[in-house]
Amino acid sequence: MLGAIIGDIVGSRFEFNNTRKRDFRMFTKECEFTDDTVCTVAVADAIAKGINYRDSLLNWCNRYPHPKGGYGASFAHWLASDNPQPYNSFGNGSAMRVAPVAWAFDDLQEVKRQAKKTASVTHNHPEGIKGAVAVAHGIYVLRKTHDLKCLRDAMLQYYPTFVDVQPTGAFDETCQGTVPLCLKVVVSSTSFEDAIRNAISCGGDSDTIGAIVGSMAEAIWDIPGTIIDTAFDYLPVDMLNAINDFFHFLNNRKHA
């Protein structure tokens, strides 16, 4: 989950001003958290507090109605609705917020079931659900095996040609355009920082590519403490508290 937040913050300044270079400064004053972080924290908070994903997303996103880059038009309409309903989206928003479920549950089938639930409150199109399930499945495999070959083999059932994907720099907000690229980045990287740099240098929807890649990279490589500390400086107190509560939940579950 921290990897998703870090990737989002690092990629935030490049979302509408892409870079194809890898030697950029990871953190600058132009960096901020975006909707990717807000939604990821909302999913984590729902799990820690035992509330439903819909209510937590509504709570957190209305608490932060104007994050850097804003919300997608359909999601913003969902937030403002008197009776928010799924809107058949296959946008990559379902994949960027799903990371907490892959850490919170120790059975793969339950991880996939929960991933579908996080997506379905908004992104109930089959491709939107598949994107969320694939990313959660990928994180789960990596945290259990720490083996990129296992990830590669597992992801072929979702995106059979992902290993052949090449970044074009096009801005693509769909799951089917984003998730295969993120998988290719992860299996082609050698460390957490390398993965983030490779993700951002793809261009396109930089913050979300960074978030999805970061969420998976965290599960196989250690995140340097200096990167975590720097990222936390960009977050408000209520988000830091929610993250802390989520890690308490994980720790309590481990010792239950």
| C-alpha distances out from residue 39 to 12, 61, 63, 155, 181, Å | 15, 7, 11, 24, 21
Token readout for 86 is 């799924």
Band of residue 254 on the pLDDT scale cut at 50, 70, 90: confident
Q: Tell me the pTM.
A: 0.97
Q: What is the pLDDT of residues 163-222, one digit of tens each?
A: 999 999 999 999 999 999 999 999 999 999 999 999 999 999 999 999 999 999 999 999
Distance CA 140, CA 134 (A): 10
Mean pLDDT taken over the chain: 97
| pLDDT tens per residue, range 46-65 | 999 999 999 999 999 999 99
H helices present in the chain, as ranges: 2-12, 35-49, 53-63, 73-80, 93-96, 99-104, 108-120, 126-145, 148-155, 175-187, 192-200, 206-217, 225-232, 237-254
SS3 category, 194? helix
